[in-house]
Chains A and B, each alone.
Chain A
Amino acid sequence: MEESAETISIENAKQDKSAFSQLFQQYYTFLYRYLFKLTMNKEMTEDLLQETMIRAYINLPKFRYQSKFSTWLISIATRLYLDEQRKSKRDRKRQLQLTENEKRKMKWELEQGNMDWSLHLDLFASLSIETRTLILLRHYYGYSIEEISAMTKLRKGTVKSRIHYALKKLREEWSDETR
């Protein structure tokens, strides 16, 4: 019942811009929260969200219900974020340096929003952007390895091993810190 109502909304959104806006409004909070967890930066989140909305609107006629609409939207947002980061961080050395700056920025941004910077966030932020995305999608949002592989355009084996090694590293560091 609920699914068919969503299908009607999506079909309407394919024809009408205003119907699309209303549909997107329903997913706005969900996407905002997801992107904020990745970027930990309000400005970047809002920019990415706007770009996601435009890409979704342009590509909506191609949406064939092969996945949930929310999964489709999250795929667009993920690819946009990863592409953006890959473009700006080709240099590995610079990337390492930026991670430190990014962490400082993230801390500041969270403090502005009256949020705490926990040890977990500190460890999470120390991971590479791609790994952060994979862990978030797998363990917080519960997507399958196949879905994540399609979203990020990485091989299933790569997704699996990156998540495995990152989690191993996180657990080890966490147990060291809490000891």
Chain B
Amino acid sequence: MKQDEWMKKMDETWDEMDAKLHIDVPETDEMLQQISSGEKRYRERMRRELCRFIILACVLLSVYMLMAVHITWAFYIMQLISIIAVVILLLVERSKGRVT
């Protein structure tokens, strides 16, 4: 009983909030402008992220090759590190919803 009463009161509060809230829906032109600029920003951010990733991959690959050529045991260590890095990357991408 108490449970229903609490929920009812909370729902009433939210309904009242909805009713009192003044919302200005933007015009189509304004929305189009927002989409265009936002899309540009988003693509730019994605491009920057990709560039950063490629640079990091190149640096890691160079270090990997250098060590693998000069130190025998380093080859195995670097392989392990690479596997861990790939797993971490996949987990990050999964948390961002890009990989399921």
Asked if B39 contacts A54 (CB within 8 A), the reply is yes
Asked if B22 contacts A53 (CB within 8 A), the reply is no
What's the least CB distance linking B37 to chain A, in Å?
Answer: 9
Asked if A17 contacts B22 (CB within 8 A), the reply is no
CA distance A150 to B38 in the complex (A): 26
- Contact partner, B21, options A113, A118, A140, Cβ 8 Å: A113
What's the least CB distance linking A82 to chain B, in Å?
Answer: 11
CA distance A153 to B22 in the complex (A): 32
B13 on the interface (CB 8 Å rule)? yes
A-B CB contact pairs (8 Å), 15 listed: A21-B32, A53-B38, A54-B39, A54-B41, A57-B38, A115-B17, A115-B20, A120-B9, A120-B13, A121-B13, A139-B7, A140-B14, A167-B3, A170-B6, A171-B6
Asked if B2 contacts A53 (CB within 8 A), the reply is no
- Contact partner, A37, options B17, B20, B31, B39, Cβ 8 Å: B17
- Contact partner, A36, options B2, B21, B32, B35, Cβ 8 Å: B21
Within 8 A of A (CB), among B15-63: 16-18, 20-23, 25-26, 28, 31-32, 34-36, 38-39, 41-42
What secondary structure prevails in chain B residues at the interface with A? helix
What's the least CB distance linking B91 to chain A, in Å?
Answer: 12
Summed over the interface, the residue pairs from A and B with CB atoms below 8 Å come to a total of 83
What's the least CB distance linking B96 to chain A, in Å?
Answer: 9
Classify chain A's interface size.
35 or more
What's the least CB distance linking A132 to chain B, in Å?
Answer: 12
Asked if A28 contacts B28 (CB within 8 A), the reply is no
A22 on the interface (CB 8 Å rule)? yes
- Contact partner, A33, options B7, B18, B31, Cβ 8 Å: B18
Chain A residues with Cβ below 8 Å from B16 are 115-116
- Contact partner, A114, options B14, B20, B39, Cβ 8 Å: B20
